[in-house]
Amino acid sequence: MTIRSRFAPSPTGYMHIGNLRTALYEYLIAKNAGGSFILRIEDTDQERFVEGAVDVVYETLKDVGLIHDEGPDKGGAFGPYIQSERLPLYKEYADKLVDLKGAHYCFCSAEELEEKKQAAEKQGKAFKFDDPCKHLSLEEARERIKNGEKYTVRQTIDPFKKTTFIDEVYGRITVENKTLDEGILLKSDGYPTYNFANVIDDHLMNITHVIRGNEYLSSTPKYNLMYEAFGWNIPTYIHLPPIMKDAHNKLSKRNGDASFQDLKAKGYLTEAIVNYIALLGWNPKTEQEIFSMEELIKNFNIQGINKAPAIFDIEKLKWINGVYIRNMSLEDFHKKALPYYEKAIKRKLDLETLSKVLQPRVNVLSEIIDLVDFFDEMPDYDLEMYCHKKMKTDLDITRKVLPVALELLQDKKAFESLEAMHEALMTLPEKMGLKNGQVLWPIRTALTGKQFTAGGATEAAYLLGQEETLARLKKAIEKVG
């Protein structure tokens, strides 16, 4: 059997992290077995449709390297791949399901349903719609349709039976049918609900493996009742645990949690995001944490998917992103850093050297701005910054160090290279009988006015150049008195 998985997003906005993880797992499961990965756009909920959202799907999948084998933009043997273009199919199969007694026509209005729901709430009862229309004969129902009455198609469920299915993550699950709602499958406007369309499309597109969030576990028995009514093979189910922002709250775009696009805008690398998302719910059963796409395809397996929720840890993502940054070539890092330099630096600097200084120190590209903004404008800073317990330095030591550094850096040779600057400054501790930190921290503070910057005193002095370095040292000497 050739594995066929599908990513079927609704075009309702940006690419949520949970959606991207689902797409990634679907892709990896298919490609690990040499199968096909299909893209289908589920746009039947017209009220939630967002203009441009389909393009976001295409762009994101291309960006992260999840190349689909079939889809709206590529075609294939099972199209069309956009649900709104498949409406006649849903009507055809809804009528067939009615004939097979797996569904019925319902003529109840939305107002009637709302009245019954409110009546149940007043009585303190949970509302479960018991559709009187399911007792109509098929002939009578179709005559009413012929006469122009508005109708929906609802699923018909035998409340006296049980439904059992196997999920590859959660195992064997049995549900009593009496707990299942006889939901709408085809709306009065001819559009299918998700619960119906995904069954029809998955069957007609020969989907063998259905991967989705575990919030759909409770609906799966209803899907299986439709498969059974049609006499179709049931796909392999893989339900994924939720991604949580903390122990109690799910990661959700409704709560403003980061999307893939947000993370990219904040300076996270595509490869690092994909690597991290792969680990949100999957255990490779090894110590390895950094995976290329090729390694993920080779190593990914269903058995490694966890039941427990995964907590989105931004610090872990930062660490992984930092590993990817340090594994880049200097040339590639420099290209990635240039847009951030353009935002933060107007002064003429040796930007290639700056990249060489930054690459080992940056975990997220957006950190660059805060690390380099002192080059253009010296920030205001409190004299207490000169007092650093770890460096064992204070204002008295600062008053001794800065004039000596000013004299030393009158020599242009110190500015010929980073190495020359390092050698020059490292003569001071021995000369003054002080530790390295006691000398370098005051110089660094005088030049940057910040605790965290691109490099230390050596890098700051070299990159600022002689004229600016001497000017800042003179100001600092006046400031400390």
List residues with catalytic annotation: 253
Angle among Cα 299, 300, 303 to the nearest 5 degrees reads 115
Residue 88 · residue 297 · CB < 8 Å: no
Q: Taking the CB of residue 354, how many other CB atoms lie within 10 A of it?
A: 23
Q: Give the full edge-to-edge strand order of the sheet including 152-155.
A: 103-106, 152-155, 184-186
Query: Distance (Å, rounded) from C-alpha 372 to C-alpha 360?
Result: 15
Query: Distance (Å, rounded) from C-alpha 419 to C-alpha 462?
Result: 9
The residue type of 92 is: E
Give DSSP secondary structure letters for 328-372.
S-HHHHHHHHHHHHHHH--S---HHHHHHHHTTT-SSTTHHHHHH
Residue 306 · residue 283 · CB < 8 Å: yes
What element of type H or E holds 156? none
Which of these, 5, 42, 2, 41, lies nearest to 23 by C-alpha position? 5
Which of these, 383, 387, 340, 382, lies nearest to 359 by C-alpha position? 340
DSSP state of 70: B
Sign of the Cα pseudo-torsion (278, 282, 284, 289, in order): positive
User: Which pairing describes strands 36-39 and 4-7: parallel, antiparallel, or unpaired?
Assistant: parallel
Residue 79 · residue 71 · CB < 8 Å: no
Q: How far is CA 173 from CA 98, 102, 310, in A?
A: 27, 21, 22
- Tokens read off for 384: 């207490």
Query: Distance (Å, rounded) from C-alpha 275 to C-alpha 406?
Result: 48
Which of these, 87, 63, 59, lies nearest to 73 by C-alpha position? 59
Residue 220 · residue 180 · CB < 8 Å: no
Query: Distance (Å, rounded) from C-alpha 402 to C-alpha 417?
Result: 21
